[in-house]
Structure 1
Amino acid sequence: MYLRAIHAEPSIPALKAFVAANPLGLLTTALPSTDPSHHFIQTSHIPWVLDDPSPDTDDLPILRGHIARQNPHAKVFIEDAAANPGKPFTFQQEVMVLFNSPHHSYVSPKLYVKTKPESGKVVPTWNYSAAQIYGTATVYTDSKADSTIAFLNKQIRDLSNKAETELSKHEKPWEVDDAPEKYIELLRKNIIGIEIKVQHLGGKHKMSQEMGKEDREGVAQGFGDMKTETGDYIAKTVREKGQLK
Structure 2
Amino acid sequence: MYLPRAFVDEDLPRLQGVIQHSRLATLVTWGALGLQASHVPLLLAPEQGANGTLYGHLAKANPQCAELASGAEALLIFMGEDAYISPSFYPSKAEHGKVVPTWNYVAVHAYGQPEVFTDPQRLLQVVEGLTERHEAGRPQPWKVADAPADYIDGMLKAIVGFALPIQRLEGKRKLSQNRNAEDIAGVRDGLAASADPRDQHLSQLMG
Alignment TM-score > 0.5, same fold: yes
Equivalent position amino acid for 1:41 in 2: L
SS in 2 for 1:104: strand
Paired residue for 1:212? 180
Aligned 8 A contact 1:23 1:49 in 2: no
1:130 counterpart (93, 99, 107) = 107
Task: For residue 218 of structure 1, report the CA deviation from its aligned partner.
Answer: 1.1
Paired residue for 1:95? 74
SS in 1 for 2:142: coil
1:157 counterpart (116, 119, 128) = 128
Equivalent position amino acid for 1:131 in 2: V
Paired residue for 1:35? none
Equivalent position amino acid for 2:56 in 1: G
Name the CA distance, whole Å, in 2 between partners of 1:17 and 1:59: 15
Aligned 8 A contact 1:105 1:128 in 2: yes
Task: For residue 172 of structure 1, report the CA deviation from its aligned partner.
Answer: 2.7
Paired residue for 1:62? 53
Match runs of 1:100-119 below 5 Å:
100-101=79-80, 103-113=81-91, 115-119=92-96
Deviations 1:148-183 (A, max 9, x none): 212101100011111111xxx224311110111111
Task: For residue 72 of structure 1, report the CA deviation from its aligned partner.
Answer: 2.9
Paired residue for 1:20? 20
Name the CA distance, whole Å, in 1 between partners of 2:94 and 2:117: 59
Structure 1 runs of 4+ with >6 Å offset: none
In the superposition, the TM-score normalised over structure 2's length comes to: 0.93
SS in 2 for 1:92: coil
Task: For residue 118 of structure 1, report the CA deviation from its aligned partner.
Answer: 0.7
In the superposition, the TM-score normalised over structure 1's length comes to: 0.79
Name the CA distance, whole Å, in 2 between partners of 1:201 and 1:109: 32
Task: For residue 53 of structure 1, report the CA deviation from its aligned partner.
Answer: 2.6
Name the CA distance, whole Å, in 1 between partners of 2:139 and 2:47: 26
Aligned 8 A contact 2:59 2:160 in 1: yes
Aligned 8 A contact 2:79 2:106 in 1: yes
Identity level (%): 33
SS in 1 for 2:10: coil
Name the CA distance, whole Å, in 2 between partners of 1:161 and 1:42: 29
Name the CA distance, whole Å, in 2 between partners of 1:189 and 1:137: 20
Deviations 1:186-218 (A, max 9, x none): 111111111101101111111111111111111
Where do 5+ consecutive residues of structure 2 fail to align? none
Deviations 1:85-106 (A, max 9, x none): xxxxxx43211111002x3122
Aligned 8 A contact 1:131 1:202 in 2: yes
Name the CA distance, whole Å, in 1 between partners of 2:96 and 2:45: 50
2:177 matched to 1:199? Answer: no
Aligned 8 A contact 2:85 2:103 in 1: yes
Aligned 8 A contact 1:63 1:196 in 2: yes
Task: For residue 23 of structure 1, report the CA deviation from its aligned partner.
Answer: 4.0
Aligned residues: 207
